[in-house]
Structure 1
Amino acid sequence: MPKKKKPVIEYRHYSLPIDFPVLLLSGDRWKISDIKSEHLHFHNHMEIGICYSDGGIMEIKGESVPFRAGDITFIPRYLPHTTYSSPNTASLWAYIFFSPEELFRHSLKTAQSHIEPNLWAIQGTNCILNKEQHPKIYTLATSIVEEIKQQSPYYQESAYGLLMSLYIELLRIHANNESWSEHDQEPDLQGELVISPVLEFITKNYMMPVSVDYLADLCHLSTTHFRRKFHELMGTTPLEFLNSTRIEEACKRLKSTEASILSISEQVGFRSISSFNRCFAKLMGESPKAWRKAAQSEAQSAKASILEFTGWV
Structure 2
Amino acid sequence: MRAMCEKVIPNTNSSWRYCKYTLDFIPFNWHYHPEYEICLTLNSKGVCHIGDYIAPYSELDLVILGPDLPHTWQSSPNADNSVQVVHVAQIPKKWLSQHVLNNPELMVLEDLLINSQRGLKFSTQTARIAKTYFEQIEQSEPFEQYLNLMGLLREMSQDAHTHILSSATFSASSYSHQAQDKFDKVIDYIYQHYTESMCAEQLARMAHMSTNHFHRFFKKRMERTLTEFINQLRIGKACKLLVNTNQSITSISDQCGFKNISNFNRRFLYLKESTPSQFRKRLKQKSLV
Normalised to the residue count of structure 2, the TM-score between the two structures is 0.51
Answer yes or no: is the 8 Å Cα contact 1:57–1:66 preserved in 2. yes
2 CA distance for matches of 1:233 and 1:214?
Answer: 15
1:232 alignment partner AA: R
Select the structure with the greater relative contact order (CA < 8 A; seq sep ≥ 6). Answer: 1
Q: Counterparts of 1:148-187 in structure 2 under 5 Å?
A: 148=137, 155-156=144-145, 158-162=147-151, 165=154, 179-180=170-171, 184-187=173-176
CA 1:242–1:51: 2 relative to 1, 3 Å: closer
- Give the C-alpha shift of residue 159 in structure 1: 0.9
Q: 1:74 and 1:68 mapped to 2: Cα distance?
A: 16
| Match of residue 293 from structure 1 | 277
Once the two structures are superposed, the pairs formed by residues 61-80 of structure 1 within 5 Å of their partners are: 66-73=56-63
CA-to-partner distance for each residue in 1:218-268, whole Å, 9 max, x for gaps? 53x1xxx34232123346885x3563242242254256x3234579x88x9
| Corresponding pairs, count | 247
Identity among equivalent pairs (%): 10
- Corresponding position of 1:247: 234
> Match for 2:85: what amino acid?
W
Residue 85 of structure 2 is aligned with which of 86, 90, 93? Answer: 93
Q: Structure 1 residues 251, 109: CA separation in 2 closer, same or farther (over 3 Å shift)?
A: farther
Corresponding residue number in structure 1 for 2:20: 25
Match of 2:75 in 1: 84
Q: What is the aligned-residue RMSD (CA, Å)?
A: 6.0
Distance 1:41 1:278 in 2: 41
CA–CA distance in structure 2, aligned partners of residues 55 and 110 of structure 1: 40
The Cα of 1:49 is off from its aligned counterpart by 2.8
Secondary structure of 2:151's aligned partner:
helix
Q: Which amino acid aligns with 1:228?
A: N
Q: Which amino acid aligns with 2:122?
A: K
Q: CA deviation at 1:88?
A: 2.6
Distance 2:239 2:93 in 1: 16
SS of corresponding position for 2:244 = coil
Question: Whole-Å Cα distance in 2 between the matches of residues 260 and 102 of structure 1?
Answer: 35
1:209 and 1:93, CA in 2 relative to 1: closer, same or farther beyond 3 A? same
Give the equivalent residue in structure 2 for 1:56: 46
How does 1:1-313 map onto structure 2 within 5 Å?
16=11, 18=13, 23=18, 25=20, 30=22, 32-33=23-24, 48-57=38-47, 66-73=56-63, 83-85=74-76, 88=79, 90=82, 92-97=84-89, 100=92, 107=99, 129-132=120-123, 138=127, 141-148=130-137, 155-156=144-145, 158-162=147-151, 165=154, 179-180=170-171, 184-187=173-176, 196-198=183-185, 200-201=187-188, 205=192, 215-216=203-204, 219=207, 221=208, 225-234=209-218, 240=227, 243-254=230-241, 257-261=243-247, 275=259, 277=261, 280-281=264-265, 283-285=267-269, 291-296=275-280
Matched-pair contact (CA < 8 Å) for 2:20–2:88: yes
Contact 1:12 1:42 in 2 (8 A): no
> Are 2:258 and 2:264, in contact at CA under 8 Å, matched by a contact in 1?
no
Q: What secondary structure sits across from 1:275 in the alignment?
A: coil
Q: Is the 8 A contact 2:194 2:234 kept in 1?
A: no
Q: C-alpha separation between the residues in 2 aligned to 1:140 and 1:203? A: 39
Question: Which residue matches 1:311?
Answer: none
What is the Cα deviation at residue 33 of structure 1? 3.1
Structure 2 contact 47–74 (Cα < 8 Å) conserved:
yes
The AA in structure 2 aligned to 1:71 is D
1:68-114 alpha-carbon deviations (Å, 9 max, x no partner): 2232256889x895642476365743414455379769846769xxx
Where in structure 2 are there 5+ consecutive unaligned residues?
104-116, 159-163, 284-289
Structure 1: unaligned runs, 5 residues or longer? 1-8, 112-124, 300-313
**TM-score, structure 1 length as denominator?**
0.48
